[in-house]
A and B are shown apart, each in its own frame.
Chain A
């Protein structure tokens, strides 16, 4: 059956499958598309995926669980967008999301994607943990709930529920307090930002989430938001304005970078360590901010910042985007992008792999352990490094 409603019927055929999209900016290797890196079959490359989507929407191929797996294996990292030389390149990830829209409409989804979305609907988070437990991360901290402070500190699902990411959420809270920033959190009232819901093609649920958040933010008088996760940053910055939700949005590294410039975070400990930084896709390629996290790290005394071969717009994604941190389609192999990235980080000789995203934090920490590199390399969120 043809899918006439598919939004990109007029351009999807324009991919030549030349394979530029597999490379990073420095042409280092063909494995800079996380899904292709993991499976190394053409079907999982950005071009292969577009050709398969086209075949499906044209009725040449039937939907199968495997087709859906290929489509949902896209981590929405935008490496393809960066590298494709053709004029429609900006739309590549959108073409994949639009295919997910169609699958959602038909109710044809891989099981973990279904449960991700169901959990969001039921609990406001993908983990399926009760909304009541959302504020547990802040127990024992001096972080307050939001009531007209200057900033809303939006923690996000990982920071709220994932035990590892909670540490980063707490560290950031402490730092902001230390710097005297006026902020509060939503605690139990917080729900998902919807970024991954959108990336997974569930537009109806996205709308529901976004409207609910906007209503709450507006009722509370929120004007400025600091996010722990670049995914939330992207949602509030790029998706919410389309629903009339206009806020001043900052990723926390932008706030910290500014605070350090103004010397409001000056009594930080000196750390004599070699550090490498992993760019999160939703801060980097999606929002073109490669400097803020680096500025923070560079202004820390004692730190030597070394770059991985693939960095900034050429960085290899950890493989957690597009909901993959939960669905784990790209996991389970030494070719999982997070494990490749862990090896790259270790190759720099760094002792700390710094991240600025709770998704990357959990993905890369697991990868470092799987690679048995944890005796020489630790993964830390920038907030944690500063809070030491």
Chain B
């Protein structure tokens, strides 16, 4: 019998360890266009101590470990590029502490966004976390491991900016805490201790996040989405600048898509606003609509698309089925907002070249300090030709991001390499040193953010 498998069974129990073809197949694929990469084992630990034991085992046996949350990041980031143990963290899904007055919640990293939202809705309806627009099975840990953003990106930034503390199992097996929790003072802040957190945005290649303290924000009683539409994409940067000046919206997204046809070339700005009273809502609406958008309406360049729409949980998975094919992947980028027009035009060109209806979206981060601009490419999983087209479109878009002065967000290995090729060499060497120091045996999600020279 395989010794690693037997050791895994001993650590997590027989039900939660596998080296059978069915699990290896399942964990070899993600939802996007990536080629399958087979793990040798799958394990689903329940506690940080089990994670620790697995990491120690992996070091001893020199076997890679690849953490997996919801597996929704699409870019092959949780695929075992060099085999090893696929570590499914979704059994680590407990809510450990919620401090209402200090507005934070401590959770195990494998908890789904859906579960946390449901919990808050039920027990603390006046609090919310920044949920990404991803399917609700996406985990909190996976999201911050790739610097995700969500409902509160505008005005509070990336979801990883909303972390108050973390517990991490290092690649050498130590369990470490970061932030005020490390001195036993509760989980309410990451600052002002020296910054030694080297785990956000690393795709799990520097350690496995097991607990997270997340900032919560006021959740007002009334929520609505208002839509503004313009035809000239050149107006979007100014519009976003103006709208962020009043700071009334919680989420600002500009988007357009080829399908349905009435949306083609029409740029929508969705503004999520919330309030506890109708008065507050009216005040916010007034500042946004009358204060900032009226002049576009008057000069005939823009119009109200809809007012006071319910905010639904995004059903974005539907985009996966546009081609009746069960697949889509997108390139996300962090871009200056001024790049919106060019991002749209060049993206639509790439889509046309690959015969994929374009879908583009720019979510404002901070006070329009940047936007997460994404280009989505649908494909038919059963038609390799469409998969090839989507993959090529993704690669072309990665290059486009850099050409337009952006940074690729949650890049696949292809995009990681493009960025590292351009990266300041001292920074690159620092990354390498960090990685070597933390992970001397190179077991943590190898192939990701790997500096080769």
Contacts and interface: CB of A to CB of B under 8 A. Distances in A.
A127 interface: no
A178 B135 CA distance: 52
A16 B320 contact: yes
Nearest to B113: A27
A110 interface: no
Nearest to A71: B22
B137 interface: yes
Contacts of B122: 26, 309
B321 A18 contact: no
B89 to A, nearest CB: 11
B175 to A, nearest CB: 22
Interface in A18-49: 18-20, 22-23, 26-30, 39-43, 48
A86 B319 CA distance: 9
Contact of A61 (B25, B70, B115, B315): B25
Interface stretch (B26-34, B190-198, B409-417): B26-34
Interface stretch (A62-70, A191-199, A208-216, A255-263): A62-70
A23 B320 contact: no
Contacts of B25: 43, 51-52, 55, 60-61
B15 A39 contact: yes
B16 A19 contact: no
Contacts of A61: 21-22, 25
Contacts of A16: 31, 317, 320-321, 326-328
Contact of B326 (A15, A19, A40): A15
A40 B25 CA distance: 16
B90 A30 contact: yes
A64 B21 contact: yes
A48 B326 contact: no
A14 interface: yes
B117 to A, nearest CB: 6
A67 B70 CA distance: 22
B88 interface: yes
B44 A41 contact: yes
Nearest to B317: A18
A13 B382 contact: yes
A85 B315 contact: yes
B93 interface: yes
A88 B20 CA distance: 30
A62 B71 CA distance: 25
B70 A40 contact: no
Given A13-B380, A41-B44, A86-B320, A64 B22 contact: yes
A87 interface: yes
B115 A27 contact: yes
B317 A52 contact: no
Interface in B1-40: 15-16, 18, 20-23, 25-27, 29, 31
Contact of B22 (A14, A27, A70, A85): A70
Interface string B106-142: 0000001011011000100000000000011100000
Q: By DSSP majority rule, is chain A's interface helix, strand, loop, or mixed?
A: loop
A16 B88 CA distance: 19
B136 A20 contact: yes
B325 interface: yes
Interface in B61-90: 70-72, 88, 90
Contact of B137 (A19, A55, A87): A19
Contact of B26 (A13, A27, A43): A43
Interface string B158-191: 0000000000000000000000000000000000
Contacts of A130: none
Name which of B18, B20, B71, B328 has the most chain A CB atoms within 10 A of its CB. B20
Contacts of A87: 321
Nearest to B319: A16
A43 B22 contact: yes
A51 B26 contact: yes
A13 B137 contact: no
A333 interface: yes
B42 interface: yes
Interface string B314-333: 01011011001111100000
A164 interface: no
A230 to B, nearest CB: 28
A30 B321 contact: no
Contact of A40 (B20, B71, B90, B327): B90
A14 B381 contact: yes
A224 interface: no
Interface in B309-365: 313, 315, 317-318, 320-321, 324-328
Interface in B365-409: 380-382
B91 interface: yes
B383 to A, nearest CB: 9
Nearest to B17: A41
A41 B88 contact: yes
A333 B71 CA distance: 26
B26 A52 contact: yes
A41 B17 CA distance: 9
Contacts of A333: 15
Contacts of B136: 19-20, 23, 27
Contacts of B318: 85-86
A114 interface: no
A48 B24 CA distance: 11
B90 A23 contact: no
Contacts of A28: 115, 118
Given A61-B22, A64-B22, A19 B44 contact: no
A41 B26 CA distance: 9
Contact of B23 (A13, A41, A86): A41
Contacts of A7: none
| 9 residue pairs, one from A and one from B, having the closest CB atoms | A19-B137, A16-B320, A18-B317, A14-B326, A13-B382, A18-B135, A27-B118, A27-B114, A13-B381
25 contacts: A11-B324, A13-B325, A14-B326, A15-B326, A16-B328, A18-B137, A19-B135, A19-B136, A23-B114, A27-B115, A29-B112, A30-B114, A30-B115, A30-B137, A40-B90, A48-B26, A51-B26, A52-B22, A52-B26, A62-B21, A64-B20, A64-B21, A66-B22, A67-B21, A86-B318
Interface of B: 15-16, 18, 20-23, 25-27, 29, 31, 42, 44, 70-72, 88, 90-91, 93, 112, 114-115, 117-118, 122, 135-137, 313, 315, 317-318, 320-321, 324-328, 380-382
Interface of A: 11, 13-20, 22-23, 26-30, 39-43, 48, 51-52, 55, 60-62, 64, 66-67, 70, 85-88, 309, 333
Given A16-B321, A40-B16, 7 more contacts: A18-B135, A27-B117, A28-B115, A29-B118, A41-B23, A51-B25, A64-B20
